[in-house]
Amino acid sequence: MVPQYGIKCAVNLITTHFGDHVAKVCECLLRKGPLTLQATVRFTELTSSQVKNCLLVLIQHNCVQAFVLEQSVEHGDAAKTNTQYIALFDNIIHRWRFTKFLTIVSQNLDKQCFDLLEALLQHGRLTLKQMSDRAKSVQNEGDDVILDAVQEAFIKLLNAHFIERCPASEPVLTNPTKQEVSARKRAAKSAKIFEEQETLEQRVMEAAAPSEALRFLLVAQAEPAADGGKDETNSSIVTPGEKRKYDSLESETEYGAADEQVVLWRANFEEFIRRLRHKACVENVKTRLDDGAVTVLKAMLEATRSTEKKVKTDNSVPLSLNSIYEEVIKSEEGRNITFDRVRAALIQLSCPPLVKAANESYSIDFKKIIELAQNEEVESIVLKRYGRDAYRMFRLLSNSGHLLETDKIADATFVEKKETPKILYKLWKDDYLQMEKLQVTGAKRLSQFLLWKVNKNILREHVLDEMFHAALNLVQRVAFELEQEKEMLNIPRDKLLIRQRKVRLLLESAHMKLDDAIMLFHDF
């Protein structure tokens, strides 16, 4: 479920980037869920042409996905189909993070790769030909040199999984029949298995995604030989300088073209979020353990990154001690670390269990690291907002995981018993605690006790909504400061203008840090 202030942030972003009409269509889809074109026209009160153009803009920039919902029919009648449009909340919010994505590429690859990714982020989806044409328009070198440079940068981005083929334009989903739904429920109940229900958005994206074999594949086929024959040798990696004709393995019915030059490509947000998640894990461990343990963790992340099938992976694949050491010594800082030091670092990482050890193999416990980071973030909010006494009480309840009576909380945290109910009530009023009343019948009178606990799942949703609220306020303040700055450009007040810019930069920096916290609760 998308937080209410999360929707407001997404709408504000779309308004800033694409205007009011596009934002109106986007908000309609975010609030009402998947809609047909006709339903969207009805709810937005825009013309059919306006809605269609708005949807095309949102699809171009990966903010909306079209899909065909095929209604299953019970008695062999023809299936009913209709095209619907679903807003992709995560992809919209990722527009905040384009600067972070570009920073990752600049740190790992060269300037040409940076420029190519910047073009994809700016335009949403591009073909290889469009990327080459864009490079020609901004560079003064010869065509062949530019094409080779674009091709080389493209392959580097592709090999790093920073870009991917675009999803199918209208994947087909079939709604299960009532009998199929009932059968699944009975099977799950009999097996006593709890399965997290897959959202419609996840089903749509899974159906639209190209197969793993094609997702990062650029197929090159040599041009016809001089004797009229055809060179059948194919390669997914093209060497710069070679003259190639690109052919897609996909059928025209799936992607609309058989020529590699017209296959659409986009930035792979999943890979960037994965790397930011890894960075957050490293930063969290850095506050707890020494540099040796951090170096070992970095090496394990590097060795297992390619095996992760989704961003929110609970554990990495297991690695042997020898494999970890081989990865450690690949880095400059790791070459000073001995084999015994790596073993000692793994023992450090195992307590608290940030790394799990089993059968002489080690795997990273992502879930534990992220959970610890989330707990620390919430505790820091409580400390800043409610004071140290409230912080101690909240931390006690968070760690205990069960209901505690008011007097026991006061005794355990050394807070005066008169003040304890007031502080707890304030935390409960702001949705940081849950309260239950327990009535006990005694010999002479009825006694009532207040019990308190932290429900972490509900609390994280509440904190996330508060963060989106704060982010929206920051974005609106930055926009205001930017307008003020523009107005002052024609006024000879140098000192005031410099101050205005410093305030704006400070607000933008605060927003970037707040977004790190939002990712911790929403994306990681």
Average pLDDT of span 71-85? 70
Residue 41 and residue 24 in contact, taking contact as beta carbons nearer than 8 Å:
no
- Outline where 160-288 has alpha helix (H): 178-191, 200-208, 212-215, 252-255, 269-286
- Per-residue pLDDT band for 187 (boundaries 50, 70, 90) equals low
pLDDT grade for 32, boundaries at 50, 70 and 90: very high
More confident residue, 4 or 501: 4
- Reading the block at residue 237, the tokens are 């990696």
Q: pLDDT averaged over the chain?
A: 86
Q: pLDDT band for 142, please (50, 70, 90 cuts).
A: low
3-state helix, strand, coil in the chain (%, to 5): 60, 15, 25
Amino acid 221: pLDDT: 43
Percent of the chain with pLDDT over 90: 66
Q: For position 242, what pLDDT does the model report? A: 42
Per-residue pLDDT, 493: 61
Q: Averaged over 373-377, what is the pLDDT?
A: 96
pLDDT tens-digit profile of 269-315?
999 999 999 999 999 999 999 999 999 999 999 999 999 989 999 99
Quick one: pLDDT at residue 135? 87
Residues 6+ apart with CB under 8 A from 52: 37
Q: What are the C-alpha distances in Å from 106 to residues 185, 283, 300, 506?
A: 49, 20, 23, 23
| Residue owning tokens 């864009």 | 134
- Give the per-residue pLDDT at 229: 46
CA distance to 11, 14, 45, 330, 480, per residue, from 21 (Å):
11, 10, 10, 52, 21
Q: What pLDDT does 141 receive?
A: 67
Size of the chain in residues: 524
Higher pLDDT, 130 or 442: 130
* Best CA proximity match to 208, nearest among 176, 262, 165, 160: 165
Tell me what the mean pLDDT of segment 59-82 comes to: 79
The pairing of beta strand 126-127 with beta strand 172-175: unpaired
User: Which of the two residues, 78 and 482, has the higher pLDDT score?
Assistant: 482
pLDDT for 245? 38
- What's the pLDDT score for residue 498? 77
SS (H, E, C) 63-78: CEEEEEEEECCCCCCC
The answer to whether residue 108 scores a pLDDT higher than 70 is yes
What is the model's pLDDT at position 81? 75
Instruction: Evaluate if residue 497 carries a pLDDT over 90.
Output: no
User: For 102-111, 232-241, 360-369, which range has the lowest pLDDT when averaged over its residues?
Assistant: 232-241
pLDDT at 195 over 60: no
Q: Would you place residue 180 in the very low, low, confident or very high pLDDT band (cuts 50, 70, 90)?
A: low
Question: Is residue 254 scored above 70 in pLDDT?
Answer: no
Express as a percent the part of the chain with pLDDT over 70: 82
**How much is the pLDDT for 486?**
74
